[in-house]
Amino acid sequence: MSTSSPAARAAIDEATKPAVASWRNLVSHRAWLDAETSSLLEFARGARVEHGFGWLGDDGTVLAGRPQPLWITARFTHVFALGALLGHPGCAPLCDHGLRALLNDFADHKHGGWYAELQDGRPSRPDKEAYSFAFVVLAMASASLAGRSGARQGLASALDLVERHFWREDEGACCEAYDAAWGEPEAYRGANANMHAVEAFLAAADALREPLWRQRALRICERVIDRFARAEAWRVVEHFDAAWTPLPDYNADAPDHPFRPFGVTPGHGLEWARLLLNLRASLDDPPAWLLEAARGLFDRAIGDGWAAPGGFVYTTDPSGAPVVERRLHWVVTEAIGAAAALHEATGEEVYEAWYRRAWDFADVHLRDRTRGSWRHELDAQLAPVEGTWSGKPDIYHAVQATLIPRLPLSGSLAGALRAGAAR
């Protein structure tokens, strides 16, 4: 494992001491994960509002006056579908509530698709975004696998829109955004939206038993990871123009942007690593480079991202030097998922060790035992702050971190749960 951070090298030296047993094989650890899933789902119930789900504050109540992004309602719909598949009472009605909001409140009945944001039930940002659409597809696919009424038809409609507007067959990837009327697309290509398209396409393939979407997920990974990240020593290149020319200075004046930050995002390297293994598990004849790339992405993200006194910096420059040193909760969740997936795929002790280290960090610094859920952001000294994020809007990442270690590698979490594979 190659690393560039002294803190990461020291952590590896400590972490790779022989372990007694894999945590993921311990009944007691699986029970702990199950309890954390339940706690997060319980906290998320407070997000229900008239038109879907709102932005939660630190205390688990919706922040007054805050707009409702499409991706928030889609993510909550997805996690409540997972809760329904787990057999958690009350999650199925919440999933259905989210589906109704997506099919009605967020729907643009004039131009087609979904508004990017609502305010008081009305569209406040009518843009059409690949990032948000990916979560709509994921929500519809997970709800379909959970057997919720209307989800399969909603998934078909969502994929039709992706096919007509976002998917670029000649590029093997998705474009980024349009105005409300589907005019000229934004002259930008982003790794983030395409990463979530991979997740959504794998779930859609499981829901529809349609391998085309797995092949499209593979094509995205070939472009973003096997071509560009490989050439940059497994650092994910995030920003491109419409011709897929990298834009290394993009958002240099907005280094902590929540979706398109300047430079390299180690958390995305970890997330891509896990998704490559999900893809690998779903293909009949997966290419060998998927495992190689997952290892490389994980190693690079650990080496660049883990920093004293612990946790992962949000962003680095293209050479791996820290830029935004705040610690965001979702990065640790993706380290948990990637380490669990790599340990599942290889059995190698180093991934078990990082799995433990990431969970220890999350438990000590991020889990909020007083008010529930996870603190979303810490400063470089690990004190809670608000900067890139405010409140606790997102349980999607944390819930998945509690599920990935309990499921065999497969295309999607909902697909694995539908198959009754939870351990």
Residue found under tokens 């830029």? 323
Tokens standing for residue 266: 């180690």
Pairing of the two strands 315-316 and 177-178: unpaired
Neighbours of 25 (CB within 10 A): 11
Dump the DSSP string for 184-230: SPPS-EEHHHHHHHHHHHHHHHHHHT-THHHHHHHHHHIIIIIIIIH
Active-site positions read 268, 397
| Spatial distance between the Cα atoms of 117 and 328, rounded to a whole number of angstroms | 23
290-321 burial string, b = 16+ CB within 10 Å, else e?
bbebbbbbbbbbbbbbbbeebbbbbbbbbebe
Handedness of CA 382, 385, 390, 391 (dihedral sign): positive
Task: Quote the distance between the C-alpha of residue 294 and its chain's center.
Answer: 16
Tokens standing for residue 206: 């499981």
**What residues form DSSP beta bridges with 322?**
316
**What residues form DSSP beta bridges with 125?**
117
Residue pair 50/104 in contact by the 8 Å Cβ criterion: no
